[in-house]
């Protein structure tokens, strides 16, 4: 209604999850001058009426030129080393289905997949997130420098918008601390 003769496209995909339905929405071809009002419309007029939780995805990366994926993978699964990196009690189980607790149990969850020296996937939630909402969190270890280095990527999907700042800060801080950490050499 706000932009006659200008068509936009809304695509929604729905995926059943344990406590409801994930609805992914993509709204394309919005005139630049209307982006904020359309975003506000979806937030207040649509999702809130569905009793929905607006979420976003977060991703951060860092390059560790002299730390191999193998060393980084093992370090992330070592409670003492991970706690030292994070700066508080933290642990990630080395078994699928095992427990994850980080930042003195402010963040808890389970390991959902392990790909040796390549990837750790977890289902996590902060203590103050809406009940039942879990973020899929992925630590990815990509080899560089002929195996001598790693590009570490941390990705969190389904982070509540109103909690995004804290989650993003923790993601960025973890990457920063990994760059400072003195890794064991193999």
pLDDT tens-digit profile of 63-116? 999 999 999 999 999 999 999 999 999 999 999 999 999 999 999 999 999 999
Which domain does 26 fall in, by range? 9-52
C-alpha to C-alpha distance for 138 and 51, rounded to whole angstroms: 27
C-alpha to C-alpha distance for 68 and 185, rounded to whole angstroms: 9
25 and 90 within one domain: no
Please state the domain count of the chain: 2
* Distant-in-sequence, close-in-space partners of 67: CB < 8 Å, separation ≥ 6: 149, 150, 183
Asked whether residue 185 is domain-assigned, the answer is: no
pTM confidence score: 0.81
64 and 43 within one domain: no
70 and 152 within one domain: yes
Angle separating helix axes 164-180 and 79-86, nearest 10 degrees: 110
Neighbours of 178 (CB within 10 A): 21
Which of 14, 4, 59 is closest to 34 using CA atoms?
Answer: 4
Q: What CATH number is associated with residue 153?
A: 3.30.530.20
Asked whether residue 176 is domain-assigned, the answer is: yes
Asked whether residue 186 is domain-assigned, the answer is: no
């Amino acid at each position: 209604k706000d932009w006659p003769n200008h068509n936009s496209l809304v695509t929604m995909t729905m995926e059943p999850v344990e406590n409801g339905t994930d609805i992914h929405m993509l709204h394309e071809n919005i005139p630049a001058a209307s982006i904020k009002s359309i975003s506000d419309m979806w937030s207040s007029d649509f999702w809130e009426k569905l009793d929905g939780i607006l979420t976003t995805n977060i991703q951060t990366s860092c390059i560790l030129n002299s730390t191999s994926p193998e060393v980084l993978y093992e370090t992330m699964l070592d409670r003492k080393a991970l706690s030292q990196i994070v700066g508080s009690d933290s642990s990630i189980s080395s078994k699928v289905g095992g427990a994850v607790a980080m930042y003195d149990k402010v963040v808890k969850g389970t390991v959902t997949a392990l790909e040796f020296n390549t990837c750790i996937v977890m289902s996590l939630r902060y203590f103050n997130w809406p009940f039942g909402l879990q973020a899929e969190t992925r630590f990815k270890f990509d080899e560089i420098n002929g195996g001598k280095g790693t590009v570490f990527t941390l990705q969190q999907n389904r982070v509540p918008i109103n909690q995004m700042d804290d989650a993003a800060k923790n993601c960025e801080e973890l990457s920063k601390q990994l760059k400072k950490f003195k890794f064991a050499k193999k």
